[in-house]
Structure formats: C-alpha cells, structure tokens
Structure 1
Amino acid sequence: MKQAATVTCHCGLNADYVACCGRYHAGEAAPTAQALMRSRYSAYVLALEPYLLATWHASTRPLQLDLASDAPARWLGLTVKHHEATGDTAVVEFVARYKVGGRAYRLHETSRFVREGGRWFYVDGELHQD
C-alpha cells in the first residue's frame, strides 16, 4: 500500500500539516494562543476564511474577510518573536512575510487573544512600523 506524502506545515514549525495546524483547521481546539496564531497564519496561506472567522472573537470579528477578492498573496514565512499568556489572556508578537504582485511585505503585529469556553480566540492586534 502506498503511503500518502506528508506536507510540511505552513506555520514555520518543522511538522506535518495534518499533525500540526491541520488538526485545528479540522475542529480541534488549539491548546495555546501561539498555536492558534500559527494555525491562523496557515489558514491565511490556505485561504480558509471560515476558520479565520470562527477563531476571531465575536466582539471584533468582521462579517467577512473576502479573501477571494483580495490581490493574491504568496505567504513566505512566519516568525514568532514573543508570546506570553496570563490566565485566559495572551499576546503573541510575530512577523509574517508575503509577496503581492512581486513586491515583498512584512506584517509585524502584536496580537491579543482571549480564552473562552476552553477555546482561544484572536481579539485584535497592534501593527508595528518597521
């Protein structure tokens, strides 16, 4: 029997997608805010708009993201610079690199997360000007 090829996860960890972010995309709750942030990055790479909306806190969630109508981005990598959790709140600072129309960009953000009902949610983020 031929074994299916493994795909390295987009989130920057050296892990198989199915065992890494894929399980969160399939419905398992991310155990930490950092794991949720990494899975959200992977969701942007894969254009999983329903997952992104479902993991966005209801108090700040947009009605839609409309990723299909945005200029296509080619995501190049993710670096987590800092993460800190205190009870049911957390922050994750990261840099996501991507290209649109051949031009390179960096998204440097400190994101805020909250845990409710055993699940982490993205609340909002503060952009850094590099």
Structure 2
Amino acid sequence: MMFIDEDYVNIVPQDLLERGIRLREELGFYEIAWKFDDVMEVLKITKSKDMVILGGDVYRLSGNKPIITGDGWYTNKGDDDAFEVAIRYITNYRARNGDDFAYCPTICPYTILQEPNE
C-alpha cells in the first residue's frame, strides 16, 4: 500500500502539508507534490520514520498548477540507497531545469517490502 494524499496528515507537519500541491483536483491523482526545499524535508522526515521511497514524478508548475512532464525516477524494491537516489535525481533535475517544478515521491511503509512470513 503506497501512501495517498490523506496519509501525509500523519507523516509531515501541518505547515509542510499546506505548502504541498495536491494533485487530486487538477489531475485526479491522490498524491501531493512539493517544491524543491519542501520535498527535501519530506524525504528527510519519511527516512527518519523508516519509510521506503519507490520513486517519484516531476510536475512543471504553471503558477501553482501542476502539469505532467513524464519525468520521474524509480528504485528497485528494497534498494538501500533509495533516498540518496531520490535526492540526487531531484537535485540534478532542479540544476538542469530550474525552480518551476514540483516533485511527488512515491512513499510507502517499510512493511510493504517484507515477505508475508517475516
């Protein structure tokens, strides 16, 4: 089970949640994207809570309206360096393309990676 937008209420502080760009209204996705500084904070928080990042998507912002770019990253199930991959991808993307983008990481609880008998 991957997290949807409503799950973040229990994960990130309210102010960070409010700065997120909810993709539900514009695109019909039950997810939240954040600008660079905020997504870095989201990644830091989720890592500290032993969550797993599976990848993510990039959205171009026109004003505060998200537009699908088709760009994104992924990691293999259980990659130990998944957070570093996400940070590197997002940092490099911003360096190449500028600040008019938001990033939507795909995050899930660690338990999703465990085998049924673990």
- Please give the range of the TM-score, normalised by the shorter of the 2 chains: 0.3 to 0.5
Greater helix content: 2
* TM-score, normalising length: structure 1: 0.31
Name which structure has the greater RCO, CA cutoff 8 Å, separation 6+: 2
